[in-house]
Structure 1
């Protein structure tokens, strides 16, 4: 009975899911290709790939609601209620979201790579260090004295940064 009633919607849903899976595969390959071409480490490539998959799933769920007959006014009421609750909850964790967004931006346009020695021009806490790792929320920076500093992604995009040496780790390992 259910399958007979919603036969057209189910066929459209199957086509949509196949389309989304193909789109996901293409986007995943493009992200990996871009990541490899720009020498980005695999962990960051996988992270951006996961973000893309989650975004596609959310888009698919939204389109599915329209396929099965939801009206725009019903969705507007649902989304306004959900966003009101999420807005209050997310206000408390805005810095986490800011760091995640910065991590995605850094994946596509960050001019520095793991191993580069950089100087961060911060009037309160200037840093000169080697980038040891780039994570979803922060950078791992190794100071000359051996200390490890974690620096938030959103701050690295807000500060002036100077490249001191490209691949300082590789040059340091050759001397040993």
Structure 2
């Protein structure tokens, strides 16, 4: 009887691993297709694949643990404690989670991409720079003077951003004094 149960658990474990592999490959393939369609860099595709992979394989590991029915109270207490610590850390630093979420939103929906020259309309710290990379927590910008700026992704979603293309400055930077068409 015990051998039959172990055999069933082994088969279910194999099925979970196979489903994990297939799902991960599907995510990689989907990220590749979306990257081609919306002109995103290979590095951004790798970030998305990696983050989804972490989530997927963590869920697979927890599923396997549940299938094998590990009833060691110490294990569950340790796992619960670890989740509690991570939950408190994320709640205390909600901006970290919002930056990761913003990274996904920037990847899938926003019109600017790596290499674009942009103007971030922030009344306290306006920035005109070229996007060098969009990472999980921040966007790396480089000004025309060669200064590198790390700008949080969640702030990039909250501020107005102009894609300048060939322009030196945004139309929002032109005042009536310098605008020849002003009356």
TM-score by length of 1: 0.78
Q: Deviations over 1:87-146 (max 9, x none)?
A: 333345443333222212211122101222211111101112222222222222222333
Counterpart CA distance in 2 for 1:92 and 1:57 is: 25
2:108 corresponding residue in structure 1: 108
Q: Which runs of 5+ in 1 are unaligned?
A: 169-176
- Equivalent position SS for 2:15: helix
- Counting only pairs closer than 5 Å after superposition, residues 11-160 of structure 1 correspond to structure 2 as 11-69=11-69, 80-160=80-160
Structure 1 residues 121, 65: CA separation in 2 closer, same or farther (over 3 Å shift)? Answer: same
Q: CA offset at residue 61 of structure 1?
A: 1.9
Q: Which has the larger radius of gyration?
A: 2
- Equivalent position SS for 2:29: helix
Counterpart CA distance in 2 for 1:17 and 1:83 is: 23
Q: CA offset at residue 45 of structure 1?
A: 0.7
Q: CA offset at residue 56 of structure 1?
A: 1.1
Structure 1 residues 140, 89: CA separation in 2 closer, same or farther (over 3 Å shift)? Answer: closer
Q: CA offset at residue 27 of structure 1?
A: 1.5
- Equivalent position SS for 1:22: helix
Q: Which runs of 5+ in 2 are unaligned?
A: 169-183
TM-score by length of 2: 0.76
Q: CA offset at residue 60 of structure 1?
A: 0.9
